[in-house]
Chains A and B, each alone.
Chain A
Amino acid sequence: MEQLIYLDNAATTAVAPEVLEAMLPFFCEHYGNPSAIYSFASESKAAVDKARTVIANAIGAKNEEIYFTAGGSESDNWALKATAEAYASKGKHIITTKIEHHAILHTAQWLEQNGYEVTYLDVDADGRVNPADVEAAIRPDTILISVMAANNEIGTIEPLKEIGAIAKAHSVLFHTDAVQAFGHIPLDVDEMGIDMLSASGHKINGPKGIGFLYIRRGVKIRNFVHGGAQERNRRAGTHNVPGIVGMGKATELAIANMKETAEYETQLRDYLISRVLEEIPHAVLHGSKEYRLPNNANFGFRFIEGESMLILLDQNGICASSGSACTSGSLDPSHVLLAIGIPHERAHGSLRITISRETTREQIDFTIENLKKIIVRLRSMSPLYEDYVKKNA
């Protein structure tokens, strides 16, 4: 298979050539530690400052509110654990949702084991959180609301602005995991009432191992990594200068091309969705039609299992992902699909396709043709399909 069709851009993306080019001088040439005094380090320091400004501008924040981290998971861990600690005297209740990424869910569970109470909100069949449910869950001891900006599996975009307004009205902090949304859809921390925001570089054609946490000025938050005085004493560790530069460049490109990219992806995504639903029997779209990330499609195919589908797609050079248990290393299928009411057996047959601006219509056509054959083949082997055919004969 000489051709690679990469349709797993929610997992990670290729580093853009411009991003790599921007990063390269900071490995061997300008390798100075930005914290150093000598002038040799000034290039590194300036590059970190510049990236910070680009990122701050991208979400309507101030430079000093951007804290670089090693990625989305660290940002999520930091936001939850450090807020919980800093506000423990006010209360020990946190509100989040059932469809968060594990970086939030497992951190919340850890907090539960350490004396905090967590409310996990339900979502509707599209995966949307009802802002009224958020409001109803607020208690006098609630210290934090954490709702993702957009879901990584089904691409559903959450009503951040409404939730932010509710959080503000009740004086509760509002954190959003924007790992899938940052650089893909417009985000503005003031307009949306966001107090903390997590994002990652490698989801937007930046490098892996770099991310940031936006922390609104005035929010009490303890430092998470102890050590040196980097990041205003809140996140120790020598700056990952090439990573920060790469994240800055990736952000600059994502913001400059956002409208155009979103239009292109949305059109291709909708073409994919309509062809799959029309041409493949017993197929459904998971997630919202209206509030959906431009690059995400998530399907359910009855009577078949996701991992088998992925292996056969892979043999045709197509990279995609599934919410099947077999791909998660546990016996449970995706918690997101279960939360939107998809039964276990159907959740096993899910397929997530996440495109990019590099994805072509020809690649999508090739994928659909392969998918059709694969599904016919797997159904011909499926006892569930056999039963269905016999029942409806």
Chain B
Amino acid sequence: MSTALAKLTTIDRRWIFLLIGLGTLIPILIPIGFPVTITPPVQSIYDKIETLGENDVVVLSYDYGPTTAAENEPMADAIIRHCFLRKVKVVALALYPLGGLTAVNGSVTRVSAEFPGLQYGVDYVNLGYKDGGQASMKLLAEDFSKAFPGDTNGTPLSTLPLMQKVTGARNAQLAVSIATGVIGEWWANLINAQYGLPVAVGCTAVSAPKYYAYLEAGQMLGLIGGLKGASEYEQLLLNGYPQTKTIYSNPMLQTASKGMDVQTIDHLIIIGFIVLGNIAYFAGRRAKQA
């Protein structure tokens, strides 16, 4: 018996790949719809935006690329959708070189199409991408036009009514960075620490642990961690704005709630393999001793 179990350690890894593949594919084709529980770091971002109105401005920075879009895109869409629902003005931009521009253009175009009453330049502006990392961030905090002379289409900022109202990010009421990697940290330790602007970050699950240090220190008002956090934000929107049900029930829309079905099944498969691996490990040790 022990020898048979010990043989499991040499299992062909293609079986693992097959199970993970099925665990990913089946919930995509047949959504399960697991319930979502809201955690405080996500709730606090939602609550902050709920306090804002049509005279307030949110700076939304798309600091991610296609590699993490599956996690970051639903949270970016949910945040900008929430702002548009409350008629909060949005200044969207990107600081991530590997696909940040595609992310900001895609999200702004996609979500603004749901709100035909909103006017570009008055209710929202897409500044596009700027290279330069922290230097660009410092510049746009002081004055957007120093970092972005024009918006993503090259329109001078001086001709856009919203940009007359908010000259720099420090004049906004909230900055949200949807980030992969280190850029979200810069928003906390440059923009929050130096200008006092409330900062929230939406990040991938793998980088969430490091952001807890900033969250606990009060340098960030909230955190959307990975697909789980994004699904929580979607649930908050569904609870607070029932009209979003038509958006989130669209079978073609990639949502975090659907992604959570995949994550749940895959996590269970991985845990199952870890347990199986340890049973095989101990069976092997027992067989050797015998």
Partners in one complex: no
